[in-house]
Amino acid sequence: MSNEINIQNLKIPTSTKYLFFAIAALFLSTSAFVVIDAGSVGIVKRLGAVNPVPLEEGFHLKVPFIENIFKINIRLNNSQSSALSSSKDLQNVKTVVSVQYSINGAVAPITYQKIGGIRQIQATVIEPAISESVKSITAKYTAEELITKRENVKTQIHAAIQDFINTTLNKKGIENGVRIANVAITDFQFSEEFNRAIELKVKAEQEALQAKNEKIRRVTQAEAAAEEKKLSASASAYAITVASKARAEAIRREAKSLKSNPELIQLRIAEKWDGKLPHYNGGGAIPFLNIDTPKKKK
Categorize the per-residue pLDDT at 161 as very low, low, confident or very high, splitting at 50, 70 and 90: very high
The packing angle between helices 262-272 and 192-260, to 10°, is: 110
Reported pTM: 0.56
Please state, for a pLDDT cut of 70, what percent of the chain lies above it: 73
Residues of the chain with CATH 3.30.479.30: 77-190
Which of 80-84, 153-157, 183-187, 247-251 is least confident? 247-251
pLDDT band at residue 163 under the 50/70/90 scheme: very high
Q: What pLDDT, on a 0 to 100 scale, did the predictor assign at position 19?
A: 60
**Radius of gyration of the chain from its Cα atoms, rounded to whole angstroms:** 55
The backbone torsions φ and ψ at residue 179, rounded to the nearest 5 degrees and listed phi first, read: -115, 130
Asked if residue 269 lies in contact with residue 260, where contact means CB atoms within 8 angstroms, the answer is no
pLDDT class of 277 with cuts at 50, 70, 90 = low
Q: How far apart are CA 147 and CA 188, in angstroms?
A: 8
pLDDT of residue 102 exceeding 90, the answer is: yes
Helix (H/G/I), strand (E/B), else coil: 54: coil
**pLDDT value of position 5:** 47
* Average pLDDT of every residue of the chain: 78
Expressed in percent and rounded to 5, the helix, strand and coil fractions of the chain are: 55, 20, 25
Q: Which CATH class is domain 77-190?
A: alpha beta
Strands, DSSP E only, in 110-227? 178-190
